[in-house]
Structure 1
Amino acid sequence: MMDGIPRLGHGFRFQWEPAQNCHVLLYPEGMIKLNQSAGEILVRCDGQRDVAAIIANLEAAFSTRDLRPDVETFIAMAVDKRWLRLESATA
């Protein structure tokens, strides 16, 4: 189980891009166009909720269960790419 509070990495800005009709991550060198699932996860990575709360919120919003493996895999990939950073929930 992944712990921590994900927040946007330094140098990235997350926003809805009407011209692309999707969420994007902007950074000095360019833009990353996100699919709907990635956008739904990142919109919840507000620096306030821990990973468990994000998963619970997604499962409630989409009336589904068992999203933990997919959400944790995405967050781990996003941390590896420095899109997100995980902060201690006890800090």
Structure 2
Amino acid sequence: MVKAGAAPHWRPRLAPAVVLRHDRVRGADLLVMPERVVVLTGHAGTVLGLCDGERDVRGIVGDLGARFPGSPVATDVPVFLGRMRAEGWLR
């Protein structure tokens, strides 16, 4: 179980059975799994798109901080990634 947020040195990547896709009809990013589809809201797809196993959490936060200055990415993103990991969607 993840407590407050993701460890800064963790290099998140999508779980093997999870695919990030953009649905043009819905205008939304989706997580597609064998028996489930999750419709992502806000910038969740942008955050998950950076989870390539190469960047660590600090790198993802830094990238997003540059893209969205003034946004609370340093606090919100690690918590979001921790929840996605707890769901089993990130490794």
Runs of 4+ with deviation above 6 angstroms: none
- The alignment status of 1:48 with 2:80, answered yes or no, reads no
Q: Give SS of 2:21's match.
A: strand
Structure 2's unaligned 5+ residue stretches are 1-5
Q: CA RMSD in A?
A: 1.4
- Whether 1:63 aligns to 2:69 is yes
Matches within 5 A, 1:1-91: 2=7, 3-64=9-70, 66-85=72-91
Judging by fraction of residues, say which structure has more strand.
1
**TM-score between both structures, scaled by the size of structure 1:** 0.85
Structure 1 segments unaligned to the other structure (5+ residues): 86-91
Overall identity of the aligned pairs, in %: 31
